[in-house]
Amino acid sequence: MGEHIVIIGGNAAGMTAASRARRVNPDLKITVLEASQFISYSICGTPYHLSGLVEDPAQLVTFTPESLLAERGIHARIRTRVEEIQPSRRLVVARELATGTEVEISYDRVVLATGYLPSSPAIEGAGLKGVFTISRLEDAVCLRSEIETRICRRAAVIGGGYIGLMMVHALHALGLQVLLFEKSDHVYRQIDPDMAEIIEEELQKKNISLHLSTAVRKLVGHQGRIQSVEIIGKRAQRELFPVDLAIVDVGVVPNVRLALDSGIPCGISGAIEVDGRGQTNVSGVYAAGNCAETVHRVSGKKMFSTLGTTAARQGRVTGENIAGLRTVFPGTLETSLEKLFHLAIGRTGLTLQQSLEAGFDADSAMISGWSRSGYYPESTPIHLKLIFERRGGRALGAQIIGEDAAAKRIDTLATALTAGLTVEQIAQLDLAYAPPYGTLWDPIQIAAHQAKKKLH
Amino acid sequence: MGEHIVIIGGNAAGMTAASRARRVNPDLKITVLEASQFISYSICGTPYHLSGLVEDPAQLVTFTPESLLAERGIHARIRTRVEEIQPSRRLVVARELATGTEVEISYDRVVLATGYLPSSPAIEGAGLKGVFTISRLEDAVCLRSEIETRICRRAAVIGGGYIGLMMVHALHALGLQVLLFEKSDHVYRQIDPDMAEIIEEELQKKNISLHLSTAVRKLVGHQGRIQSVEIIGKRAQRELFPVDLAIVDVGVVPNVRLALDSGIPCGISGAIEVDGRGQTNVSGVYAAGNCAETVHRVSGKKMFSTLGTTAARQGRVTGENIAGLRTVFPGTLETSLEKLFHLAIGRTGLTLQQSLEAGFDADSAMISGWSRSGYYPESTPIHLKLIFERRGGRALGAQIIGEDAAAKRIDTLATALTAGLTVEQIAQLDLAYAPPYGTLWDPIQIAAHQAKKKLH
């Protein structure tokens, strides 16, 4: 029997690390410990279960413990919560939640892949029945069950970030009247305000009741169940909005309690400090995914990423290293894509605001192009913002909003950022054209041409 | 009055050069001379006029001479065929086709933007009525008129290249029974045979009568009109296929007659020799677009490009140079995209066959992925082939076939080729993921992971 790899957390990073380690070294014994009842599920798919597009939550799950063992030779123990890592003894202490039994499991190398947790909402009333946070498949299952078994007409979403917007979409698809409360001026701060306005227009077109610059003061209950949302309005007045349920998305934090309790240090970002191979500062202990720190490929700064793609890629590299290869994770551009009603929203690299905060002498060009040739039926707008250094013109980030898969163009810009291309080089890219799929000059080139005019 | 720029040819390269020169230098006098009756039309749009998707051919035309003068201050003289350039006198000699009048026009700088011509088909019977080549908007207008005014049930397309396939699609959309004759083993030699097979399957699904490895011996007429196509079959037997019309696409050649007659030399590719700024070997004479030579950005070899995108980009750079800027055209990757029935077909860089012919120690990885997450409705296959150097792993080319805009992913690979990325670097790209628009690992990364296994 080979060495024993223990992986704590059975989703994007943990499962990818386990699968990759198995592929690289078939002699390893690999055990995945997962506190919840599901492994290897698509957290990105949970809104589609909620909305009913994906009827059975089992569709979102790639492996059961049984199929994982049969197909990949990886042991998974679900409902098993790790309570401590003892690096000096190369041991993890876990509790089997079904029985309450404490078990000790020895390891040669252990990987922390504990992901993130919703920030504890500091909102009064967050503990009422009918109030949800969404960070696990179970959360979506419970929420859907609530909607199916009770009469729900009005739902509040508190926080207009990525998860909040996904929930707005899903609840709207279920026919609920949706109120969205966001304390800052704009939704979705992963993009700049001028791009966020396009999303806000779309929300209003869909009759979402949008409350920007609005702090939720408390959730008001009746007999232990939510009855209304109390806000502090723009003129400091209090207002009550009756609702049947509320989803709170006030951000997420890296799930590092176990690491800290076990003496494994976190970095400046709050996530577990690791090198490019996934090694923590403690011998034999690795970390990967959203609980682990990563580096931003444009700013070079350490950061906490919440993306499943970052988790899976970092997990893959860590899996290779625990299995004996020497590979390095180059970091993230925080490239992301989401579908909100008909709009695809893509972003990569730094926003203009993030660029300025990171100390770049940055500027931006924002244009609107078309998804097809003007004469071709059903052409729709594509909005594109390109951020770049004013001297030299190196691209720093981009944001795209358009219908259909228009925003998958963000990959072209993620590739340009990776290669350090300038707006001049982007303008000269040999991009593809066909009337049903774009315009002779792609919006990417149109934006790059605009950007060139602003160079110093 | 500023200097006088004369541009010969009023489409992709010529119009882009004229517009760009006007923008850079408002003092120039700019005259475009065009032999046909249309300027600034989308040749890529002609199949959609033929199929009826774009009813009025005027929709494909951006400018009339009147609107071009009013909006851009550029003079256009249509139906004006240039017969000679006299560089020593800085003069072009042209004939106004309506009246037969010969005119002399003096210039300070002249740009040849004469595009390409269909290869003269060496097929007996190519002159019969009902036999068409398609290289101008007029050709599509004539062909559509033929189909509307006569009873046409069966059409032959001779040659399965880019234009041939577009014509198959358009004729099929009109309800005709279509026969496609291709003399080589596979259609569309801009992609490798294993990818071409996917197209051939699609053609057969659509009941196109596909005849590969089939040379057309002659077109047989009756009373001056085509009646049937005579082929030499695989077993050297002759066969006759009755048809009502035929479209011949046996390739195109750069339209360099005027250049050669005027002493302006062509390069090794057969197109007019130019430097990166668009200058020919003759003082004051520039060339741009499909009549001009370009350089392949991967192989570094001089070549003749038939793409409208190459023409427009080269035209833009030439327009800047004739207006006084010093910019350089970096060349082409021959990135292209087309829609054939439900399939998008994208390609960039070199095929495997072209890579080997160019002397690269090349290999390839071919994979099939999906357009959406497995649980998300309506996921369709994406076929992707990645070509790379076996030592070092630099990417040399890529081909993608999939439904919808799947193949617009080719832009990501065109960007990677431009930056000289290796398959290892491509595998590590931070590409976007959302269940409605792709899979956690994009097909591009899956192919790059496959490719890594084949490196030496």
Range with the poorest average pLDDT among A103-117, A259-273, B138-152:
B138-152
Domain B120-250 and domain B336-453, same fold? Reply is yes
B196, two tokens: 């071409």
- Residue A1 above 70 pLDDT? no
* Model confidence pLDDT, tens digit, residues B413-434: 999 999 999 999 999 999 999 9
d(CA B329, CA B295): 9
> What per-residue confidence (pLDDT) applies to B138?
86
- CB contact (8 A) between residue A437 and residue B348: no
Query: Which chain B residues contact residue A409 at CB under 8 A?
Result: 408, 411
- The alpha-carbon gap from A410 to the nearest alpha carbon of chain B, in Å, equals 7
Average pLDDT, chain B: 95
- Picking from A23, A399, A433, A7, the residue whose alpha carbon sits closest to that of residue A186 is A399
pLDDT tens digits, one per residue of A370-428:
999 989 999 999 999 999 999 999 999 999 999 976 878 999 999 999 999 999 999 99
Half-sphere exposure of residue A197: CA atoms within 13 angstroms, side-chain side? 6
Q: pLDDT: is B356 or A43 the higher one?
A: B356
Residues of chain A positioned with their CB less than 8 A from the CB of B344: 434, 436-437
Residue A217 CB contacts under 8 Å (≥ 6 apart), including other chains: A123, A124, A230, A231, A232, A238
Do residue A408 and residue B405 have CB atoms under 8 angstroms apart?
A: yes
C-alpha dihedral (A412, A350, A311, B445), degrees to nearest 10: 10
- Compute the half-sphere exposure of residue B254: CA atoms within 13 Å on the CB side of its CA: 27
Asked if pLDDT for residue A247 goes beyond 80, the answer is yes
Using a CB-CB cut-off of 8 Å, the residues of chain B touching A430 are 297, 309-310, 313, 331-335, 348, 414, 418
Q: Residue A225: is its pLDDT beyond 90?
A: yes
For residue A54, list chain B residues with Cβ-Cβ distance below 8 A: 375-376
CA B372, B373, B377, B383 torsion: positive or negative? Answer: positive
- Rounded CA separation B239/B216 (Å): 10
Give the residue from A415, A441, A445 with the most B CB atoms within 10 Å of its CB, the best one to mutate: A415
Indicate if the pLDDT at residue A135 is higher than 90: no
pLDDT at A122 over 80: no
Please give the share of chain A, as a percent, with pLDDT higher than 90.
86
Residue among B48, B60, B404 whose CB faces A405 most closely = B404
* Among chain B residues, CA nearest to A375: B59
Q: Please tell me which residue of chain B has the smallest CA distance to A410.
A: B432
Contacts of A38 in chain B (CB under 8 A): none
What is the token pair recorded at A33?
A: 């410990």
pLDDT band with cut points at 50, 70 and 90 for residue B3: very high
Instruction: Output phi, psi for B389, to 5 deg.
Output: -80, 135
Cα B391 to Cα A203: distance, rounded to the nearest angstrom: 51
**Cβ contact, residue pair B430, A414, below 8 Å:** yes
Q: What are phi and psi of B322, to 5 degrees?
A: -70, -20
CATH 3.50.50.60 describes domain A122-252: yes
pLDDT the model gives residue B102: 97
CA distance B228 to chain A (A): 33
DSSP B119: P
Q: Identify the CA nearest to B158 among candidates B46, B246, B47, B253.
A: B246
Residues of A in contact with B440 (CB under 8 A): 12, 42, 44, 308-309, 312
Of A12, A338, A412, the CB nearest to B434: A338
* Contact between A430 and B333 using a beta-carbon 8 Å cutoff: yes
Given a cut of 80, is residue B405 above it in pLDDT?
no
Look at residue A166 and tell me whether its pLDDT is greater than 80.
Answer: yes
**Contact by Cβ (8 Å): A14, A315:** yes
Q: Active-site positions of A?
A: 44
Q: What is the CATH number of domain A4-115+254-322?
A: 3.50.50.60
Q: Which H or E run contains B395?
A: strand B395-403
If you measure CA to CA, which chain B residue comes closest to A347?
B432
At B228, which helix (H) or strand (E)?
A: strand B225-232
| Active site (catalytic) residues of B | 44
pLDDT at B156 over 90: yes
Which residues of chain A neighbour B336 with C-beta distances below 8 Å? 432-434
> What six digits make up the tokens of A236?
């400091």
Q: Is A165 exposed, middle or buried (0-12, 13-18, 19+ CB in 10 A)?
A: buried
DSSP string across A362-409: EEEEEEEEESS-TTSTT--EEEEEEEEETTT-BEEEEEEEEETTGGGG
Interface with chain A: mutation pick from B431, B444, B453, highest number of A CBs within 10 Å? B431
Nearest to B34 by CA among B85, B75, B89, B87: B75
- Fold assignment, B336-453: FAD/NAD(P)-binding domain (3.50.50)
Nearest CB to A309: which of B334, B415, B440? B440
CA distance B125 to chain A (A): 33
Residue that is written with structure tokens 């066909």 in the block: A434
Ordered alpha helix ranges (H), B93-150: 137-149
Report how many Cβ contacts below 8 Å link chain A to chain B. Answer: 205
* The CATH classification of domain A336-452, taken from the options 3.30.70.141, 3.40.50.2300, 3.50.50.60, 2.60.40.10: 3.50.50.60
Query: Torsions phi, psi of B431, nearest 5?
Result: -90, 160
Superfamily grouping for domain B4-116+253-322: FAD/NAD(P)-binding domain (3.50.50.60)
**Pick from A115, A72, A67, A393: nearest CA to A271:** A115
pTM of the model: 0.95
Distance from the Cα of B215 to chain A's closest Cα (Å) equals: 30
Q: What is the DSSP string of A309-357?
A: HHHHHHHHHHHHHHTT-------B---EEEEETTEEEEEEE--HHHHHH
Helices (H), B254-401: 257-261, 308-322, 352-357
Structural domain boundaries in chain B: 4-116+253-322, 120-250, 336-453
Predicted pLDDT of residue B296: 97
Sign of the C-alpha dihedral, residues A301, A302, A308, A311? positive
Nearest-by-Cβ selection for B412 from A45, A59, A411: A411
Prediction ipTM score: 0.95
Number of H helices, E strands in chain A: 12, 25
Neighbours of A176 (CB within 10 A): 18
**For B86-103, how does the pLDDT look when each residue is reduced to its tens digit (9 = 90+)?**
999 999 999 999 999 999
Cα-based distances in Å from B331 to A199, A334, A424, B354, B388: 38, 31, 14, 17, 20
- C-alpha A335/C-alpha A339 separation (Å) is 14
B43 pLDDT band, cuts 50/70/90, is confident
Count of other CB atoms within 10 angstroms of residue A209:
14
Interhelix angle B410-418/A410-418, nearest 10 degrees: 20
**Residue B1 reports pLDDT greater than 70:** no
Which of chain A's residues have a Cβ under 8 Å away from the Cβ of B430?
297, 309-310, 313, 332-335, 348, 414, 418
Nearest to A6 by CA among A311, A287, A257: A287
Residue B233 has pLDDT above 80, yes or no: no
B20 burial via Cβ count (<10 Å: 0-12, 13-18, 19+): buried
pLDDT at A120 over 90: no
Checking if the pLDDT of A235 tops 80, the result is no
In this prediction, what percent of chain A has a pLDDT beyond 70?
99
CATH class name, domain B120-250: alpha beta
Element (H, E) at A216: strand A215-222
- How many other C-beta atoms lie within 10 A of the C-beta of residue A61? 17
Q: The tokens of A180 are what? A: 């969205």
Residue for token pair 């009741």: A209
Work out the average pLDDT over A203-207: 97
pLDDT of residue A236: 74
Q: Cβ of A53 and B310 within 8 Å?
A: no
Nearest of B419, B426, B416 to residue B455 by alpha carbon:
B426
Q: Which of A357-366, B143-152, B234-243, B391-400 shows the lowest mean pLDDT across its residues?
A: B234-243
Q: Which residue of A has its CA nearest to B307?
A: A433
Q: Are B441 and A12 in contact (CB under 8 A)?
A: no
Q: Would you give the distance in Å from CA A256 to the centre of its chain?
A: 17
